[in-house]
Amino acid sequence: MSTPTRILFVCLGNIIRSPLGEKLFEHVANEAGVGEKYEVDSAGTSAYHIGELPDERMRRTAKRRGFAYSGSARQVKPRDLDDFDLVIAMDMENMHNLLALAGTEEQRAKIHLMRSFDPDADGAVAVPDPWYDGPQGFETVYDIVDRSVRGLLHAIESGNLKVK
Ligand code: 4NP
């Protein structure tokens, strides 16, 4: 079997958007019967929440949808841009911070915006940060991340997104 495609999901804190992206991607790939082709992880550009569980509010939202997950926050490191085949940024700030870490064109080419895989993005470029939002903000982010990971999986499996 060929080596798995390695995908890193990145947000600011690695407690809300990127852990959900990581776990939902894994879930939809398993559902599609292609889970063994992928290795996924997530990280934050900041060090604010290292070692913490994913945010309780997002886990509660996910659980209501029948999806339970866990994890432990870590910070992104320059090596990640070599170790992963794709690095998926949740918003433009994450994207700029990742591009600043990248030293080569090969590393830069791995970095993509999550929302570019959302078929309903309608011009929006960010998975919004719901930190200061009420429950509806978390519901909205869940829907965006769910659509985006399905779009990402489809882009890779259909060959539209070239990896490696
Ligand atoms: P995340 O969300 O980047 O999706 O994990 C946030 C987590 C923490 C903070 C902001 C956003 N914060 O300000 O600490």
Confidence tier at 164 by pLDDT (50, 70, 90): confident
Q: Is 112 a member of any domain? A: yes
Q: Is 164 a member of any domain? A: no
> Could you tell me the distance, in angstroms and rounded to a whole number, from the CA of residue 129 to the centre of ligand 1?
7
Q: Is 18 a member of any domain? A: yes
Collapsing DSSP to helix, strand or coil, 116 comes out as helix
- Whether ligand 1 lies within 6 angstroms of the CB of 14 is answered as yes
Q: What is the pLDDT of residues 43-97, one digit of tens each?
A: 999 999 999 999 999 999 999 999 999 999 999 999 999 999 999 999 999 999 9
- Whether ligand 1 lies within 6 angstroms of the CB of 47 is answered as no
Q: What is the pLDDT of residues 96-147, one digit of tens each?
A: 999 999 999 999 999 999 999 999 999 999 999 999 999 999 999 999 999 9
Half-sphere exposure for 117 (CA within 13 Å, toward CB): 29
Q: Is 163 a member of any domain? A: no
Q: What is the domain range of residue 26?
A: 5-157
Residue type, 14: N
- Whether ligand 1 lies within 6 angstroms of the CB of 20 is answered as no
Domain count of the fold of the chain: 1
Q: Is 40 a member of any domain? A: yes
Q: Is 138 a member of any domain? A: yes
* Alpha helix ranges (H) inside the chain: 17-31, 56-64, 80-83, 92-101, 105-108, 135-157
- 1 pLDDT higher than 70: no
Q: For residue 143, indicate whether it is catalytic.
A: no
Residue among 6, 17, 57, 59 flagged as catalytic: 17
The predicted pLDDT at position 55 comes to 98
Q: Show the CA angle centred on residue 146, arms to residues 141 and 147, nearest 5°.
A: 100
Q: Is 29 a member of any domain? A: yes
Q: What's the CATH number where 136 sits?
A: 3.40.50.2300
pLDDT mean across residues, the chain: 97
> Could you tell me the distance, in angstroms and rounded to a whole number, from the CA of residue 128 to the centre of ligand 1?
10
> Could you tell me the distance, in angstroms and rounded to a whole number, from the CA of residue 95 to the centre of ligand 1?
15
Q: Is 162 a member of any domain? A: no
Q: For residue 150, indicate whether it is catalytic.
A: no
- Whether ligand 1 lies within 6 angstroms of the CB of 58 is answered as no
> Could you tell me the distance, in angstroms and rounded to a whole number, from the CA of residue 41 to the centre of ligand 1?
17
Q: For the chain, give the number of residues.
A: 164
